[in-house]
Structure 1
């Protein structure tokens, strides 16, 4: 290896130590072994492969294994990940989903194309497909069946961009709803509510409000303070919901079931005490019981936000 190549390798390693360059410019992975010498960004091996799908825009090299010219290294030094972020992410909508290294290839590739190929976050007019009012109206008009039918059609490779556009259009609609529901809330507080990530999900048994009905096996999801239950994990609509408040408002979770409780098949019970009634559940294993109780306790330990009192009141007045 020539002394010039040795020098360039040294300079590239030095550039990796600069702020922003140590994490992938596209997905945030802490593994920047590759770089786009036409865009001036350091990326992970996975995103480097996705850059290969837009050769008209990006050309990549291994930072350590490939040869670099002086001109290429100078360009990398003049740009870098932070500079690229400032250039290509000037107008990213708050609702737009920024994929991470753990997300699927589809989301990551379309994020890369949106940034560098379509320049969607530099020009607002190019955000029309997922943020236009007409698209939002369409979202509210289609039924669940139509939605899943549409998504199945979009699985064709030609429609990969449309699939991500729909995904972000749904987020745009949800974001608009949250802005109306929580006026004055900061965008940073609303964005985490756009994509549902359950605190806990799985099967439990439950009985009715009188505790005299037999226990039935149901699929439960814990979404912040909402415990929803379904007959089947793939059901579109919940059979019912339970609001989980905070300990300072007289919500508690207890192991076991009240004496004389009958009709359950699974032996590891949980009782949730609310100001109005008790909810009884049963788990198949002690591990399940422990995990569900930990999830409930985490929520109960957290003080309620002002808007959550309105949600609680809505639950109490449900028929």
Structure 2
């Protein structure tokens, strides 16, 4: 009978929906929760097991012995039916994790579905969809790199995220929700429950790092920021589709890692820098957790004179696995750690160059400046003529979207 049950489970896996993990979508799941009736990947099965058998009872499809009643339960439910029930009312702003998502996000998604049943009982979602949230997070110091408790206040109505050094004093900083990005940052901080919040300040990007001991709390902050951004975008762009707006909420960085770059002159020595590609901003830092990048490159469209290619210009120094990023103002000579690393950087930057520009891109380009000389003079990374053309075209797009929404 055991062999028959194993064979039957194998047949169930071939059914639509069952051939991928019910929680993260990973292909070819090897586990199942037999009381819930779903198929799971190894990582998600571990989270289910950590919730306790009173929530989810997990078995391996081949290595464990299955009772007839357990097989029957999985057959009667299956992944598709379970999703219809447990994910009935997932808010649009909620980030559904895939197999590459951070561990803390996967864990809280699973606990929200089965332990807290937030999507069967939407009144349990109030904290992150309400538009307001306050509480203490541990924030990394700008200079000393130590973490200190800081009070944070999120207000969708005011479009602000504030943090206070002292609870009853004026805020140390006031960030605009609509302009910031938030991403999970475990690889940098070494803490699974950490976030990196990035925003523009005085023409440059500023990064702050925060964490909380409770993974549910830090995930709730992440979701609250996403929800507040979505609600404000819905007001600002009433003619835009929900799919378009969701893509603007939060971004994981397309790629990060160490590269070597020269100075403005091709004869300058290559120096090691930590690069971060954030949408159309390519930032470089001395250290992965620097509060400010040393420089930022706005990557526009190919029609504006942006391109990337293997190698360096004739006469320039080639250091190992070099490549060149061309902008209207300057050629950036870069070198990767290996041939594969170079290929991946070129591929991801090329996708950015080929991607159509958005109205939000014009805002970033307009505010992004950097020091070009020791005297502190400032310039936009893209050339003035190209930037004016970019702004005009994107302003026309914004006006057209507004006009279409009024016509509708």
Aligned match for 2:324, one of 233, 250, 270:
270
How far residue 246 of structure 1 moved from its aligned partner, in angstroms, is 1.7
**1:37-48 alignment to 2 at 5 Å?**
37-48=34-45
What are the ranges of 5 or more consecutive residues in structure 2 without an aligned counterpart?
135-151, 155-160, 166-171, 174-194, 197-207, 370-378, 382-408
1:283, distance to aligned residue in structure 2 (A): 3.0
Higher strand residue share: 2
1:77 aligns with 2:133: no
Superposed, 1:117-128 pairs within 5 Å as 117-128=115-126
Change (3 A) 1:98 1:8: same
For 1:18, which of 15, 18, 24 is the aligned residue? 15
Over residues 46-81 of structure 1, what are the superposed CA-to-partner deviations in whole Å (9 max), with x where a residue is unaligned?
Answer: 322322223222222333344444433333222110
Structure 1 runs (4+) deviating above 6 angstroms are 143-150, 210-216
Q: TM-score, normalised by structure 2?
A: 0.62
Q: 2:97 corresponds to which residue?
A: 99
For the pair 1:236 / 2:291, whether they are aligned, the reply is yes
Aligned positions of 1:1-319 closer than 5 A: 2=1, 5-52=2-49, 53-135=51-133, 138-139=153-154, 140-142=161-163, 151-152=210-211, 154-155=212-213, 159-176=214-231, 178-179=233-234, 183-193=238-248, 194-199=250-255, 201-207=257-263, 218-253=273-308, 255-256=311-312, 268=322, 270=324, 272-274=326-328, 277-283=329-335, 287=339, 292-305=345-358, 307-309=360-362, 311-315=364-368
- CA–CA separation in structure 2 for the residues paired with 1:67 and 1:284: 50
The range that moved more, 132-141 or 179-188, is: 179-188
Q: State the distance in 2 between where 1:247 and 1:150 align.
A: 34
Q: How many residues align?
A: 306
Looking at structure 1, the residues matched to 99 and 353 of structure 2 have their Cα atoms a distance apart, in angstroms, of: 32
1:192 CA drift (Å): 4.1
CA separation in 2, counterparts of 1:218 and 1:204? 6
Q: Once the two structures are superposed, what CA deviation does each residue of 1:72-93 show, in whole Å capped at 9, x if it has no partner? A: 3333222110000010111212
Higher helix share: 1
Deviation at residue 110 of structure 1 after TM alignment = 2.0
Work out the CA distance in 2 between the residues paired with 1:197 and 1:62: 35
